[in-house]
Amino acid sequence: MSLEDWLLTADERGNPDSQIPTWCRGNTAEPLFHGATYFDRLATEVETLGDGDHLFFTDWRGDPDERLRDEGPTIAELFSAAAKRGVVVKGLLWRSHLDKMQYSEEENRNLGEEVEAAGGEVLLDQRVRRGGSHHQKVVILRHPNAPERDIAFAGGIDLCHSRRDDADHRGDPQAVSMSSAYGKNPPWHDVQLALRGPVVGALDLAFRERWNDPTPLDQHGPISTLTDKLKHADLRADRLPPQPPDPPECGPHDIQVLRTYPAMRPPYQFAKLGEQSIARGYTKAIKRARRLIYLEDQYLWSREVAQLFADALNDNPGLHLIAVVPRHPDVDGRFALPPNMVGREEAISLCRRAAPDRVHVFDVENHEGTPVYVHAKVCVVDDVWASVGSDNFNRRSWTHDSELSCAVLDRTRDERSPTDPAGLGDGARVYARDLRLALLREHLDRSDDQDLLDPDSVVRAVNASADALRDWHRDGEKGPRPPGRLVPHETERLPWYQRLWAIPAYRLMYDPDGRPWRARRAGTW
């Protein structure tokens, strides 16, 4: 197998303005399932940082009082303590919208103020398209005098409320307000990667590109600029210390850092026409799929994304798609709910029309029957290529917001049968297969992998488990609860009078297009 078979080449990435390496060889990628696991590891690693070490982070939202463990510390305490020890602490948080709109402007501002009081620097970054956001979730820890200790975290987990859940899925005690269907403490399913090796240097560079971009931080008008000045916001980035050499190779994982940046004015200096390497990376991998695409996603919206799956299903009669999504949108309301519903219904219907018997969509509940909000962004193709990141399967994530994902190819073949499920000679790979199996074992309440290896048998096993739990609910929950947490996902087609306004609202506001006009007209990424 050649890396070019699955990963984008330099030309295919399509962004000559960035110095990000095409891919990084010789890393280790460790999936961290659930916020509680990630937060505990993050705290442990940050607590080892000393004078002169680096802590860089980007996030969509940061809650200063979010506890990383039951006994603490909080995010603000952890990062502030590091800054007081002489660690170079630098952060980029999305400036966000008003809290009254259920966003996080004040939380992000407060985290920045606490860290800056301890000697760090956190900037509120509004260099986005109108209506867009910075959605990357990355923490980079560098030891200039001991590069073998460097580690980075990248994936779907924000440094904020509601994320510190565990495998039991009873929710974070510090919860955000969501749809009432998820209860007082919404159960939350998510994945983050712990990364070591040269890829840490690539993520460090990705942070520095944003930090050093000369465009003013506040792009959206005089009122927000005046507000920032009245609140004495830091609007200028201080100089970063020199970037240390990349950490040495330390494992069998070759990793490609994929990103989304929109085309905007003024342009990013490191992506003058934007970057859609996430969309291009998924497109290349999915076109190579032959037997099984397994994904977990918060949204699974967009006709353009669904068409990619539909084309793959049409071209490959042995291909199955398994998708795990939230049961309900994260919001209630007469005006907020319909646009959230219409996009998924359209996307899933398009896929099912292509292959009614080979599209399998599920949602998750905990053992008490409360729906679990699926926030993970995971894709595994034929147990070979696997991606974990901040991006969702929608047009917004692929073109409009800033996103970051890590696609992993493991050099280690998996010798469990079937050893080459796609039949292309690539061979199943340990990392991708183990990632998929770990997620399915949790969802199915399993401790073994029996009938979960072969694509056809895993489809039968997942459908049987989900159908049994659905039927148990429908029959009045008589007798013991069947094992497993998946149930078949049901979509609802909105009546015509709601679709009349919900579809335009969905396409313009909820799932906008950040591509240059030429790419939009051509239908390319």
- pLDDT, one tens digit per residue, over 11-50 is 999 999 999 999 999 999 999 999 999 999 999 999 999 9
Beta-carbon contacts of residue 84 (< 8 Å; ≥ 6 apart): 118, 119
**Residue 43 structure tokens:** 């705290």
Same domain, 333 and 235: no
Distance in angstroms (rounded) separating the CA atoms of residues 237 and 216: 10
Residue 100 pLDDT grade (very low, low, confident, very high; cuts 50, 70, 90): very low
Backbone angles phi, psi at 101, to 5 degrees: -95, 20
Distance in angstroms (rounded) separating the CA atoms of residues 497 and 508: 18
- What pLDDT score was predicted for residue 223? 55
The position carrying tokens 């505990």 is 40
- What pLDDT score was predicted for residue 99? 45
Q: Is residue 502 part of a domain?
A: yes
CATH of the domain at 513: 3.30.870.10
The answer to whether the beta carbons of residues 414 and 430 sit under 8 Å apart is yes
Lowest mean pLDDT across 146-155, 453-462, 512-521: 512-521
Same domain, 279 and 158: no
Same domain, 300 and 238: no
Q: Is residue 18 part of a domain?
A: no
35, 69, 201, 244 from 324: Cα distances, Å: 18, 28, 32, 39
Given 251, 267, 286, which residue is the final one in a domain? Answer: 251
Same domain, 286 and 240: no
Q: Strand, coil or helix: what is 312?
A: helix
Strand partners, 28: 196
Look at strands 188-189 and 371-374 and give their pairing.
Answer: parallel
User: 411 exposed, middle or buried (CB, 10 Å; 0-12, 13-18, 19+)?
Assistant: middle
Q: Is residue 405 part of a domain?
A: yes
Give 503-507's long-range contacts (Cβ < 8 A, gap of 24+). Answer: 503/339, 503/342, 505/338, 505/339, 506/301, 506/339, 506/340, 506/342, 506/343
Strand partners, 153: 139, 194
The candidate with the shortest Cα–Cα distance to 381, out of 425, 337, 433, is: 433
Taking residues 340-349, report their average pLDDT. Answer: 92
**DSSP code of residue 270:** T
Residue 433 has pLDDT above 90, yes or no: yes
Kindly give the interhelix angle for 430-444 and 455-474, rounded to the nearest 10 degrees: 20
Q: Strand, coil or helix: what is 149?
A: helix
Residue 218 pLDDT grade (very low, low, confident, very high; cuts 50, 70, 90): confident
Given 202, 235, 251, which residue is the final one in a domain? Answer: 251
Distance in angstroms (rounded) separating the CA atoms of residues 409 and 257: 12
Lowest mean pLDDT across 287-291, 455-459, 495-499: 495-499
Q: Is residue 451 part of a domain?
A: yes
The candidate with the shortest Cα–Cα distance to 179, out of 373, 347, 375, is: 373
Q: Is residue 269 part of a domain?
A: no
Amino acid, res. 1: M
- What pLDDT score was predicted for residue 133? 94
Q: Is residue 16 part of a domain?
A: no
Look at strands 253-261 and 275-276 and give their pairing.
Answer: antiparallel
User: 498 exposed, middle or buried (CB, 10 Å; 0-12, 13-18, 19+)?
Assistant: middle
- What pLDDT score was predicted for residue 232? 62
Is the preceding peptide bond at 241 cis, omega within 30 degrees of 0? no
The candidate with the shortest Cα–Cα distance to 375, out of 102, 60, 98, 127, is: 60
The position carrying tokens 């398009």 is 350
The candidate with the shortest Cα–Cα distance to 227, out of 100, 105, 59, 64, is: 105
Kindly give the interhelix angle for 75-84 and 35-47, rounded to the nearest 10 degrees: 10
Same domain, 225 and 302: no
- What pLDDT score was predicted for residue 79? 98
Residue 397 has pLDDT above 60, yes or no: yes
Q: Strand, coil or helix: what is 252?
A: coil
Residue 188 has pLDDT above 90, yes or no: yes
The answer to whether the beta carbons of residues 236 and 248 sit under 8 Å apart is no
The answer to whether the beta carbons of residues 390 and 193 sit under 8 Å apart is no
Lowest mean pLDDT across 68-77, 214-223, 411-420: 214-223
pTM of the model: 0.96
Distance in angstroms (rounded) separating the CA atoms of residues 221 and 465: 53
Same domain, 198 and 61: yes
Given 193, 219, 251, which residue is the final one in a domain? Answer: 251
Q: Is residue 11 part of a domain?
A: no
Mean pLDDT of the chain: 94
The position carrying tokens 């303005």 is 17
Amino acid, res. 40: D
**DSSP code of residue 101:** G
Reported as a single tens digit per residue, the pLDDT across 104-135 is 567 667 898 999 999 999 999 999 998 899 99
Strand partners, 268: 271
Same domain, 221 and 308: no
- What pLDDT score was predicted for residue 333? 76
Same domain, 198 and 331: no
Backbone angles phi, psi at 20, to 5 degrees: -55, 130
Same domain, 355 and 207: no
Q: How many independent structural domains does the chain possess?
A: 2
Residue 97 has pLDDT above 60, yes or no: no
**Residue 40 structure tokens:** 């505990």
Same domain, 395 and 494: yes
Other Cβ atoms closer than 10 A to 187: 24
Reported as a single tens digit per residue, the pLDDT across 153-183 is 999 999 999 999 999 999 999 999 999 999 9
**Residue 481 structure tokens:** 């609860």
Distance in angstroms (rounded) separating the CA atoms of residues 355 and 58: 39
Residue 323 has pLDDT above 90, yes or no: yes
Domain limits for position 424: 275-520
Reported as a single tens digit per residue, the pLDDT across 303-314 is 999 999 999 999
Taking residues 202-213, report their average pLDDT. Answer: 98
Taking residues 62-74, report their average pLDDT. Answer: 97
Q: Is residue 75 part of a domain?
A: yes
Same domain, 302 and 241: no
Residue 336 pLDDT grade (very low, low, confident, very high; cuts 50, 70, 90): confident
Reported as a single tens digit per residue, the pLDDT across 459-495 is 999 999 999 999 999 999 999 999 999 999 999 899 9
User: 174 exposed, middle or buried (CB, 10 Å; 0-12, 13-18, 19+)?
Assistant: middle
Same domain, 314 and 447: yes
Of residues 340 and 488, the one with the higher pLDDT is: 488
Among the residues of 118-159, which ranges form H helices? none
